[in-house]
Structure 1
Amino acid sequence: MPIIKGVKGVQPKISKSCWLADNATVIGDVTLADNCNVWFNAVIRGDVCSIEMGENCNIQDGAVIHGTLNHSKTVFGKNVSVGHNAIVHGCIVEDSVLIGMGAIVMDNAVIKSGSMIAAGAVVLANTVVEENSLYAGTPARKVKDIDEKLRQVIDRTPEHYIMYTSWIDD
Structure 2
Amino acid sequence: MALYEYRGVAPRVHATAYVHSSASVIGDVIVGAGCYIGPCASLRGDFGAIRIDEESNVQDNCTLHVGHGKTCWLGVRSHVGHGAVVHGARLVRNVLIGMNAVVMDGVTIGESAIVAACTFVKSGMQVPASTLVVGVPARVVRMLTDGELQAKINATNKYCELAALSSVTIRAIDQAASLPAEKSENK
What TM-score does the superposition give when structure 1 sets the normalisation length?
Answer: 0.95
Q: Which amino acid aligns with 2:93?
A: D
CA distance in 2, matches of 1:82, 1:18: 15
Structure 1 stretches of 4+ with a deviation exceeding 4 A read none
Quote the RMSD (CA, aligned, Å).
1.1
1:5 equivalent to 2:7? Answer: no
> Residue 85 of structure 2 is aligned with which of 84, 87, 99?
87
Aligned length: 168
**Cross-structure match for 2:25:** 26
SS at 1:114 equivalent: coil
TM-fit CA distance, 1:13: 1.1
- Partner of 1:66 in structure 2? 65
Per-residue CA deviations over 1:16-69 (Å, capped at 9, x if unaligned) read 000011201111000111011100011111010001111101000000000111
Measure the CA separation in 2 of the matches of 1:92 and 1:162.
21
Q: Residues of 2 paired with 1:125 and 1:103: CA distance?
A: 13
- For residues 32 and 90 of structure 1, the distance between their equivalents in structure 2, rounded to whole angstroms, comes to 16
Secondary structure in structure 2 of the residue aligned to 1:159: helix
- Which protein shows a greater Rg? 2
- Work out the CA distance in 2 between the residues paired with 1:150 and 1:99: 14
Give the whole-Å Cα distance in 1 for the aligned partners of 2:21 and 2:150: 30
More helix as a share of residues: 2
> Which residue of structure 1 aligns with residue 116 of structure 2?
118
For structure 2, list consecutive stretches of 5 or more residues without a partner in the other structure. 172-187
> Equivalents in 2 of 1:164, 1:25: separation in Å?
19
CA contact (8 A) 2:18 2:36 kept: yes
Deviation string for 1:113-132 (max 9, x for gaps)? 01000000000000000111
State the match for 2:170 in structure 1. Answer: 169
Structure 2-normalised TM-score?
0.87
Structure 1: distance between partners of 2:136 and 2:151: 23
Map of 1:44 onto structure 2 = 43
SS, match of residue 156 in structure 1 = helix
1:54 correspondence with 2:74: no
Q: What is the rounded CA distance, in whole Å, between the counterparts of 2:15 and 2:161 in structure 1?
A: 16
Residue 138 of structure 1 aligns with an amino acid whose one-letter code is V
Aligned equivalents of 2:73, 2:19: Cα separation in 1: 19
